[in-house]
A and B are shown apart, each in its own frame.
Chain A
Amino acid sequence: MHLLVCGGTGCRASASDSIAESLKEQLHHHNMDHEVQVILTGCFGFCEKGPIVKVLPDNTFYTEVKPEDASDIVAEHLVKGRQVERLLYKAPSGEQVTDSRHMDFYKKQIRIALRNCGFIDPENIDEYIARDGYLALGTVLNEMTPQQVIDQVKESGLRGRGGGGFPAGKKWEFAYKNESDQKYVVCNADEGDPGAFMDRSILEGDPHAVLEAMAICGYATGADQGLIYIRAEYPLAIKRLKIAIEQAREYGLLGQQIFDSHFNFDIQLRYGAGAFVCGEETALIHSMEGERGEPTFKPPYPAQSGYLEKPTNVNNVETYANVPVIINKGPGWFSKIGTQKATGTKVFALAGKVNNVGLIEVPMGTTLREVIFEIGGGIKGGKKFKAVQTGGPSGGCLTEEHLDTPIDFDNLLAVGSMMGSGGMIVMDEDDCMVSVAKFFLEFTVEESCGKCAPCRVGNKRMHELLERITQGKAEKKDLQRLKNMCHVIADTSLCGLGQTAPSPVLSTMENFWDEYVAHVEDQRCPAGSCKELMRYEIIPENCVGCTACARKCPVGAITGERKQVHEIDQDKCIKCGACLDACKFDAVTIK
């Protein structure tokens, strides 16, 4: 029997490591240490209800577990064989789910990239090997030529999961065909998209999958050195990668003459120091060389002249994570999943106003509706769905009418968004779309490298104008100007960051034009979220003078004697909404 405790970042933040400790103590107490193993795994994906503890082999799925629950889990479930009902996952219908495989959250998912996340101890190479780990590398080295490997990847239809969706096999082939005394394989783990944590979860939950794939790529392209460019803010992923690299070296799966072949391959870590633009491959390479992470004009492509001016293949974490499975199960198996133009699966970080926030992996072609309403369990608090944002700061906001769009690279582009690295943020009726556009622009302005004028200055000017709109200070003609800025910035920026920066603005203008007009013409925020456009007021008829609002007000803006009608000083009010939450008599209103 196994007790799998989620050791992903979200669950760890809620003390999942103490849970594991407590479980071990309890097992010891019941003399069961030898029969039951506690494993701190990678992310289960169901972050909403973390920390998660899963019992194998019966797939019992305990949610929101606390360290003190350990005694019940051991004493009840393991000793007496009775599930701890109060910890079982309850579906929105109220029904208790005893087997995780029956949860809506997991039903539609197919896990390829995340195949081992939540199943193995990522710090133990034996567990990876036990699940066919390094089998693909062995096959490749013993039975295949580099061209055959490339052909298989090409045949699988695998496209880059980092954003652009460039066919991975084709990319490998470029690097393979550029002859050089030295080549490099780079893994882009500089996930910087706000609201995306797919790569982090893979690295934390299944680091060997990436190492194995990089070695396969090294063999295919003719590189003997791998580099993982990883965000320094991912300490746990870094730690697990370091352990994994050490173990792989010990087992002879990295290093000289791997599997007794003539193939040598080793991997080093390079740290990203906080620059979103380094997700762009030329910027990433400059950063690895110790330079400012500014993108440069392509060509030359990294496959021609990359790291230290040598041919370099750059793929992201999720792309690599698919590779061993493609080799093991064959490209045909892989290409049958998903759609014709987009094979396989995609991992999304589903977040925002959905019931089931978490990390999911679905076949390409799954619709947004299935993701949000079935896997995601619908909108939180019974509110109305308004929009879903995909592709992070490079993507757009899609509406109700796009919900049945099958997700793939081209479909999302066609409706004004993009796949991006896999962030998926759901918004409800309380979210102002102008503010959402402003939020993403603020991010782009902060992350622009400053090299090209449209991105450096243009995005700043767009942000300023959006700010004016949310303050009710813009005019109708400014909307036209905003649109023009969007087009020019998209048309002329140097790299993908700038080229896609206007997408959140363009897509919200396209889909929520009325909302923009309301801000500009009526100085009104339909979602009621733009602070400058709202006033909190007390309805004298409803106010009983309970003083609750005055006590909650953080800035002392509310005055009034007990049992007298209260009043809000508009000059002092910071529009935090505390009074509205505090009032039990519906006496506070927003105008």
Chain B
Amino acid sequence: MENVKVTIDNQTVEVPKGTTIYKAAKQIGIDIPVLCYMELEDIGIENKPGGCRVCSVEVEGRHNLAPACATEVFDGMAVKTHTMRVINARRTIVEFLLSDHPKDCLTCKKSGNCELQDLAIKLGIREIPGQEYAEMSTYKTDYSPSIVRELDKCIMCRRCESMCNDFQTVGALNAINRGFDAAVAPAFEMDLQYSPCTYCGQCVAVCPTGALTEVDHSRDLIDAISDPNTTVVAQTAPAVRAALGEEFGMEPGTLVTGKMVSALRELGFDYVFDTDFAADLTIMEEGHELLDRLNRHLQGDSDVKLPMLTSCCPAWVRFIEHHFPDMKDIPSSARSPQQMFGSIAKTYFADQIETPREKMVVVSVMPCLAKKYESQREEFAEDGNPDVDFSVTTRELAHLIKEANLDLKNLSDDDFDRPMGESTGAGVIFGTTGGVIEAATRTAYELQTGQQLNDQIVFEQLRGFEGIRKANVDFNGTPINIGIAHGLGNARKLLEQIKRGESDFHAIEIMACPGGCIGGGGQPLHHNDTKILKARQQAIYQEDQNKPIRKSHENPQIQKLYKDFLGEPLGQKAHELLHTKYFDLSRKIEIS
């Protein structure tokens, strides 16, 4: 690769040809402010519309300012990033953006975590000239089950559009209108719930302002805890413990499992359980289902559907329901861990504590926005009483902990309650891409071959961060082909392969978010630094390694659950409580 020399603010740096001014400057510690620009390095997404122009810099010999994010350097280029011309332009542009932006920062959900606000602070903007007669864009606010869209706050950075279309290939969001009226919205500006949105929340995860945020359930949670007649049960997803610490200034990748448990107790939850327990339960059902399909296939049953796809990710489930309805019989019928937890909590555990389900509130703490929607799906309720009452995100929990004035860093490391707090390393790794299928492989292998895995419990070939991964696991002479995809765009590629009959996979794990749940839409914002996701992934694997038991079928509380209550995996009761079916949610053109 050819290198070129470029001088930025009188410092010379040598970079490969094709490097942008922004990146070259970064190499020598010059941080040029950007707003619309977003590079998610590890997942190959770059949003570079050159739209906000906040990164404008002066290039010697050029008649106008150059956007640093999009302009490639050339040999001998001389760049100035803080001349008065640049500063004035940057300031004027931010004033322009603010002139069409609500000024409700004090009460905005993104306050303190907003890139536009940060910029306004950094530039010391104190007034918006002409604001009194400046027309502002107004749109109605859209409340879907998971996501709130307040387009008044949209600055047209197009990041959400990139995530929704390029990364997820969902196509719910697109730029609409033009000029001053331009915004990013679903077709006909209808609400998200009438669009093919999967509620994956990746748009929310990258939105620099308060235009896209989660539906906030923290008030509901406070109400439930405040009610003395209600038993409030918490379940916490595996990925939450690997990220929550970031909200409290800890290094990405810091595990805060015990501190999180004690914080939840301090907040007043009656029981603090672990979704990992339900993940183990999921493996029991899904693992047996996989073996059942596999064995029937090996015996020559041509009706059996293979590959079997995982079904823990509600955004992924909604994706197949919307975009591939004719393939809705391929995913495992096993419910997600969140929902398995809910149905066991409100039956098995409710019996144990002799509390009717109406008096219980099951709250999930999730890295995810689609989980909010999933908990509201009609099929996951009994007589209108949902198995999971509502779901809060890692971010909402962090806010509550801060609101309660709890110092997470210095809380004691507590243990989950029993019985539903007992879990294995297999349950933990559900939080990362490849984890579900690794957990399933650990159990399926032992059940199928009758042999103990012992030292080979880690399946390295299933781990990693590439969008699509393939592995072949030898089940004692039977080669099993496993596929893994994270990101719905990658999932789409595998689905299309299956559709064309070109797939030789037996099982495929799919997660909607980059890196799996660790990169979920409800996690602390990564602000475009995907190294954070990798650190979280390492934390998850660390937690697995720390666990004394690392295979789901060896979880003693799971074994007890089957013995005392459920009977056999895939049995009658398990079918009723732990399995589900899928619907065709696609748009249908019908003749009137």
Contact = CB atoms under 8 A, between A and B. Distances in A.
A494 B51 contact: yes
A447 B156 CA distance: 17
A294 B50 CA distance: 11
| Consensus secondary structure, chain A interface | helix
A368 B88 CA distance: 37
Given A275-B178, A464-B130, A450 B156 contact: yes
Main secondary structure of the interface of B (DSSP, over half): loop
Contacts of B156: 450-451, 453, 456
B187 interface: no
B178 A457 contact: no
Given A488-B93, A492-B64, A452 B53 contact: yes
Contacts of A488: 88-89, 92-93
Given A451-B49, A452-B51, A485 B180 contact: no
A386 B10 CA distance: 49
Contact of A450 (B72, B135, B179): B179
A299 B71 CA distance: 8
Contact of A461 (B130, B155, B179): B130
Contact of B50 (A449, A456, A485, A494): A494
Contacts of A494: 50-51, 53, 67
B89 A457 contact: no
Nearest to B52: A453
Contacts of A460: 100, 135, 179-180
B129 interface: yes
A385 to B, nearest CB: 31
B182 interface: yes
B133 interface: yes
Given A453-B93, A457-B99, A464-B133, A499 B64 contact: yes
B178 A445 contact: no
Contacts of A422: none
Interface residues of A, number: 35
Interface string B39-64: 00000000011111110100000001
B299 interface: no
| Size band of the interface chain B makes with A | 35 or more
A583 to B, nearest CB: 36
A481 B50 contact: no
Contacts of A484: 88, 92
A520 to B, nearest CB: 14
A297 B36 CA distance: 14
A264 interface: no
Interface in A435-468: 445-454, 456-458, 460-461, 464-465, 468
A485 B92 CA distance: 7
Contact of A493 (B53, B71, B100, B134): B53
A292 interface: yes
Nearest to B175: A292
A287 B334 CA distance: 46
Pick the most buried of B48, B71, B97: most chain A CB atoms within 10 A of its CB: B97
Contacts of A447: 178-179
Contact of B135 (A292, A296, A464, A492): A464
B348 interface: no
A490 B88 CA distance: 13
Given A449-B178, A452-B52, A299 B93 contact: no
Given A456-B156, A490-B64, A492-B64, A449 B179 contact: yes
B82 interface: no
Contacts of B99: 457, 461
A457 B134 CA distance: 10
A293 to B, nearest CB: 9
Which 9 A/B pairs are nearest by Cβ-Cβ distance?
Answer: A450-B182, A457-B96, A448-B179, A488-B92, A492-B53, A297-B70, A297-B50, A460-B180, A450-B179
Given A449-B178, A453-B52, 7 more contacts: A297-B67, A450-B175, A450-B177, A453-B51, A453-B93, A465-B130, A492-B93
Interface of A: 275, 292, 294, 296-297, 299, 445-454, 456-458, 460-461, 464-465, 468, 478, 481, 484-485, 488, 490-494, 499
26 contacts: A292-B175, A292-B178, A297-B67, A297-B71, A446-B179, A447-B179, A448-B179, A449-B178, A450-B179, A450-B182, A452-B51, A452-B52, A453-B52, A456-B156, A456-B180, A461-B96, A461-B130, A461-B134, A464-B130, A465-B130, A481-B129, A484-B92, A492-B64, A494-B50, A494-B51, A499-B64
Interface of B: 48-54, 56, 64-65, 67, 70-72, 85, 88-89, 92-93, 96-97, 99-100, 129-130, 133-135, 155-156, 175, 177-182
